[in-house]
């Protein structure tokens, strides 16, 4: 049996509205929001008495999704939200954009900060890492034709 597809990536945040606004500005589309609690949810995630709000966003091509979760109970714990890229674990999500400079300008009011530089690789692509809400690392790439 092989994997048929990847459904989504999950990211826990403390400010769901800010995360949704940031990723919508990036170009993702809100697929839906839901309140999550109860025995079924607790059984799946392994936390008793959990309550959360979730938002599912998808890329415009409908191929990839990110689920953002904001927990009311139990209280979220710090998962080293500002860890550097070489820290163990899931570290970043990457997107191809049409215009990197425009994307950065649109994300700046949402708190995006370039980690260090915007770099050009051999005239083929322009790329950088930005920190978004809650320290989420986002790699942005603009390919040149």
pLDDT band of residue 1 (cuts 50, 70, 90) is low
More confidently predicted of 29 and 3:
29
Q: Model confidence over 63-111: pLDDT tens digits?
A: 999 999 999 999 888 777 777 767 767 888 999 999 999 999 999 999 9
Residue 75: the pLDDT is 85
Architecture of domain 92-143: Roll (3.10)
The residues, ordered by sequence, that sit 6+ positions from 77 with a Cβ below 8 Å of its Cβ are none
In the chain, CATH 3.10.180.10 sits at 9-73, 92-143
Topology classification of domain 9-73: 2,3-Dihydroxybiphenyl 1,2-Dioxygenase; domain 1 (3.10.180)
């Amino acid at each position: 049996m092989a994997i048929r597809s990847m459904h989504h990536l999950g990211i826990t945040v403390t400010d769901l509205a800010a995360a949704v606004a940031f990723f919508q500005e990036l170009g993702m589309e809100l697929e839906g929001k839901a309140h999550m609690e109860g025995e079924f949810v607790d059984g799946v995630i392994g936390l008793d008495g959990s309550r959360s709000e979730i938002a599912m966003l998808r890329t415009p091509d409908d191929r990839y999704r990110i689920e953002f979760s904001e927990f009311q109970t139990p209280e979220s714990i710090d998962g080293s939200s500002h860890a550097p890229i070489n820290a163990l674990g899931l570290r970043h999500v990457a997107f191809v954009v049409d215009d990197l400079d425009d994307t950065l300008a649109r994300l700046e009011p949402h708190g995006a900060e370039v980690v260090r530089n915007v770099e050009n690789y051999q005239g083929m692509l322009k790329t950088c890492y930005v920190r978004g809400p809650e320290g989420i690392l986002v790699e942005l790439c603009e390919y040149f034709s």
